[in-house]
Amino acid sequence: MRGMTPEELIRSILAGTELRSASFIVTVYGDVVVPRGGVLWTGTLIEICDRVGISESLVRTAVSRLVAAKRLCGERAGRRSYYRLDASAGQEFQRAAALLYAPDPPARGWQILHAPDLPEDQARHLRLGQMAPGVFIRPDRGQPVPPGALVFPAGDPQPLAEVARYWNLSALQARYRDMLARFSPVETADPLPDETALVIRLLLVETYRHVLLRDPLLPAQALPGDWQGGAARALFDRLYARLTPGAERHIAARFEGVDGPLPAQTALTQARLVGMA
Q: Could you tell me if 230 and 126 lie in one domain?
A: no
What mean pLDDT comes out for the span 189-208? 97
Q: What is the pLDDT of residue 126?
A: 93
Whether 160 is covered by a domain: the verdict is no
Whether 1 is covered by a domain: the verdict is no
**CATH code, domain carrying 203:** 1.10.10.10
Instruction: Note the pTM of the prediction, 2 decimals.
Output: 0.94
212-248 pLDDT per residue, tens:
999 999 998 899 999 999 999 999 999 999 999 999 9
Whether 267 is covered by a domain: the verdict is yes
| CA distances from residue 148 to 57, 119, 144, 216 in whole angstroms, order as listed | 43, 12, 12, 21
Q: Which residues pair with 150 in a beta bridge?
A: 114
Whether 162 is covered by a domain: the verdict is no
Q: Could you tell me if 33 and 147 lie in one domain?
A: no
- Among left, alpha and beta (phi > 0; psi -120 to 50; other), residue 38 is left
Q: Could you tell me if 119 and 187 lie in one domain?
A: no
Whether 61 is covered by a domain: the verdict is yes
Quote the percentage of the chain above a pLDDT of 90.
81
Render 41-108 in DSSP notation, one character per residue.
EHHHHHHHHHTTT--HHHHHHHHHHHHHTTSEEEEEETTEEEEEE-HHHHHHHHHHHHHHSSPPPPP-
Q: Could you tell me if 215 and 94 lie in one domain?
A: yes
Residue 257 corresponds to which amino acid? G
Whether 163 is covered by a domain: the verdict is no
Domain count, the chain: 2
Average pLDDT, the chain: 93
Whether 161 is covered by a domain: the verdict is no
Q: What is the pLDDT of residue 155?
A: 86
- Give dist(CA 40, CA 74) in Å, integer: 10
Q: Could you tell me if 179 and 122 lie in one domain?
A: no
Q: For residues 152 and 112, is the Cβ–Cβ distance under 8 A?
A: yes
- Band of the pLDDT at 88, cuts 50, 70, 90? confident
- Give dist(CA 38, CA 29) in Å, integer: 7
- Band of the pLDDT at 96, cuts 50, 70, 90? confident
Lowest mean pLDDT segment, chosen from 103-112, 130-139, 176-185 = 103-112
Q: Could you tell me if 143 and 221 lie in one domain?
A: no
Lowest mean pLDDT segment, chosen from 100-104, 117-121, 180-184 = 100-104
Q: Could you tell me if 66 and 181 lie in one domain?
A: yes
Residue 82 corresponds to which amino acid? Y
Q: Where are the alpha helices (DSSP H) in the chain?
A: 6-14, 21-28, 42-50, 56-68, 87-100, 120-125, 169-183, 194-212, 229-254, 267-276
The whole-angstrom distance between residue 2's C-alpha and the CA centroid of its chain comes to: 27
Q: What is the largest CA-CA distance in the chain?
A: 64
Q: 182: domain range?
A: 6-102+168-276
Q: Could you tell me if 92 and 71 lie in one domain?
A: yes
Q: Could you tell me if 81 and 143 lie in one domain?
A: no
Whether 98 is covered by a domain: the verdict is yes
Q: Could you tell me if 92 and 122 lie in one domain?
A: no
- Band of the pLDDT at 1, cuts 50, 70, 90? low
Q: Which of 9-13, 102-106, 140-144 has the highest mean pLDDT?
A: 9-13
Residue 2 in this model has a pLDDT that exceeds 70: no
Q: What is the pLDDT of residue 239?
A: 97
- Give dist(CA 179, CA 211) in Å, integer: 9
- Band of the pLDDT at 266, cuts 50, 70, 90? very high
